Structures are given as structure tokens and as C-alpha cells.
Amino acid sequence: MSIDLGMKGRGVFYLNFNTIGTGINKASSTQEFNFGNLIEQSGSYIVAIERMVLPMHRVPMINSLTPALIFVPTGVEIQFVINTPQAFSWKEWVDNLNDQLEDTDIIDCKFLMDQSARIRIVFDSFDDYNIQFNDTLKDIFDLNQVVGLADVISEDQIVGGSSMIDRFDQLHKIQLETRGMNLQQEIIDTDRSLPILTDFIAPNTFNHSYNEQLDADIRSSEDINVSYPVRQNIIYTASEERRYQMLRGNTPIQNITIQAVAIFKDNTRNEITLPPRSVFEIKLAFFKR
């Protein structure tokens, strides 16, 4: 799509939004025009993003899971329910899980990752308990919803069906939502639509290494190293593409709010917290039709 600004009556103006992070506030910015309307007739303009910088450091890789897994007794033992908080890395998440297990009577169970990046569950008491997984964990681990003694392969271990390393990061995309602009709304499903300016597929990169030691204990070896790079800023410029959105209607525009939200693979929606001294900024271009 191109716009001929050389024609009489055509033009463009720019509007800048920015918010400085405090560690508490969200990735949201508002421009208010109390002296008058920014645009008198919405339908006369097309809007596009010229530039955007969005800090991603406070976006988790997995949200809190309640419950994450349940140890269901096969006999008269007590049932244990384990909840896990949101985490920013595999190591943070699995260390928290294993620490919780040590604080219960399930001290002989440990969650590890093998050399193929599959989940490995080592548990001496599969004859006493089945493990029931949250839907998210079931898919990440590539296991049945409930596993037990029948799933043990050897040495009291259960191993996932495939590498989980590309599934642990549950972030799907970043979505820019607006208030105050009469955008042609994006249809979400048959019942909902949202004023979405645009979205960005979040990068998902990782490193995985395995150092085999002949004297390592396969049941508790820490030789698996999984590293997700720390999330970086999403930086967008219109140098290679410009994403246009048509405004609609004849109503005026006075105040505009832009908010970035994280959309996860289970369709949960997280507001994005800005780290201290970080900057969330967007530059919009308004083209006269």
C-alpha cells in the first residue's frame, strides 16, 4: 500500500508516545489534547507505526500454574498439589518445583532434563502415586495427562516423548492495543473484536548443551545446561515495511492510548511491566486520505 502525499490536500503528521519505566508501571502511554481535537474526522486518516521500542525483560517465559501437578495416591497416602509461580527461565522454574517437592513428603522425586532436552522424572514411589499434569505442562513435556507405574521405562524414570526446549517459552506474541482511535477492529472470534494496532511474533531462541561425564549420576546430574538469552527490546522501524490501519467513522479524536500486552500460547493476556529506567516509545504517522 502506498499513499501519494504530493496530491493537493494530502499530508502527514507524527505523534510520539513514551513512558519511562519505574519497575511498577506498565507499557502504556497516552497523549491527551485538552486544547482541542487531534483529528476532526477519523475516517479521513490512515495511521501507521513509524518506530517502536518495547522493553521485554519483565515478560515471563511461563505463567503461574495453579495447580501445576497433583500427586494422586494409588493407596491411602495423602494427595499433594503443587503450584508453580511464573518464571523467566527453565532453571528458575524447575529449581522452584524441586524445592517444593523437597518440602513435602515427595522428597524422592526430581524433575530433570536429559541430553535430548526431554523431561526426565525420577521418582522412587511410582507404585504409590500417579502424577497428574496441568494441560500446559502436559503439552510442554509431551506426556499423558496422568503418568504412573505403567509409564516407567527404567530406574524409576519417566521420559517425555520429545524435546521440550522449543515449547517451554510460552510467549506467543506482543500485541499493541489502542483506545481513543476508531480503528477498523481486528476480529478475535465470532463474539469479540479488539482495536489492535498491530502485533509482533516474539522471538524464541535458546542454547542447549550436554556434557557427559562417565562418573555422573544419571538420576541427579547437573550436566544439562539450557540457556534462553535474556529477553531484549523489540525494536521496530518502518524502513522495510509500514503497517497501515484505516481509521473509520466521522467522530473526532482527542485522546489516544497505546498499550503493549503479552499474549501467551494458552491465550492468557499479560500486561507488560517496564523495568526501571527502561523506555517504551512509539511514533505514529497519520496520513490524510
Give the pLDDT confidence score for residue 259 in this predicted structure: 95
43 with 247: CB under 8 angstroms?
Answer: yes
Residue % of the chain over a pLDDT of 70: 83
Give the pLDDT confidence score for residue 216 in this predicted structure: 42
Whole-number Å distance between alpha carbons of 82 and 80: 7
Whole-number Å distance between alpha carbons of 139 and 143: 7
- Residue owning grid cell 515478560: 59
Residue % of the chain over a pLDDT of 90: 47
- Write out pLDDT tens, residues 34-55: 777 888 888 888 888 999 999 9
Domains of the chain: 12-60+170-206+229-288 (2.60.120.1100), 65-159 (no CATH)
Length of the chain: 289
Give the pLDDT confidence score for residue 221 in this predicted structure: 47
- pLDDT tier at 10 (50, 70, 90 boundaries)? low
* Sheet strand arrangement including 146-147: 80-84, 65-73, 129-133, 146-147
